[in-house]
Every structure is written in structure tokens, then in C-alpha cells.
């Protein structure tokens, strides 16, 4: 397994964790929307902020990985062409 494949697997794991955290957060929102008031908590506010940052960073990392994969494939194709041109 190369580094790009390893990174893709790590991002899939991160996505699962983020999905789980988001599910818990949505349950809290639904509970409050249903009339069960939640007491203000700086810890909950920090957790929500951390979740949103994590979601954004993972989104950016996915785009970066795709870009690295395209660059890597392009370099491999270029090397193949160079070898074909050697006399």
C-alpha cells in the first residue's frame, strides 16, 4: 500500500468519526428544538467549533489528496513517455 492509499484510508476513518460526532450533535439540536432546553456550556460550544473545523479540514484534505494523486499519475505517465523516447 502506497502513501496515497494509506492517506485515503485514514481519511475514511476520520469521516466515520466525524459522521458519528455530527450525529450526536444533531441529536442535541433536535432535543432542544423539541423543547428540552440545554444549559449553556462552553465545553459544548468548543466541541461544536472543533467538529466544524474538523469537517472543513477533512474536506480540504480530500481535495488535496485528489490533487496529489493527479500529480503522481501525471509524473508516472511522463516517466513512461520519457522511457519510450530513449534510443
Q: What is the dihedral of CA 8, 65, 1, 19, to 10 degrees?
A: -10
Estimate to the nearest angstrom the gap between the alpha carbon of 70 and the chain centroid.
18
Q: How far apart are CA 37 and CA 50, in angstroms?
A: 22
Do the beta carbons of residue 65 and residue 58 sit within 8 Å?
no
- Catalytic one of 46, 59, 63, 83: 46
Supply angle C-alpha 4, 5, 9, rounded to 5.
115
Query: Is 46 annotated in the active site?
Result: yes
Show which residues are catalytic: 46
Amino acid at each position: 500500500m502506497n502513501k496515497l492509499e494509506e492517506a485515503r484510508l485514514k481519511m475514511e476513518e476520520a469521516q466515520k468519526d466525524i459522521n458519528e460526532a455530527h450525529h450526536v450533535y444533531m441529536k442535541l439540536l433536535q432535543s432542544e428544538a423539541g423543547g428540552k432546553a440545554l444549559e449553556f456550556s462552553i465545553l459544548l460550544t468548543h466541541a461544536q467549533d472543533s467538529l466544524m473545523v474538523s469537517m472543513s479540514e477533512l474536506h480540504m484534505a480530500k481535495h488535496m489528496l485528489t490533487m496529489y494523486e493527479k500529480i503522481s499519475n501525471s509524473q508516472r505517465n511522463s516517466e513512461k513517455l520519457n522511457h519510450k523516447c530513449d534510443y
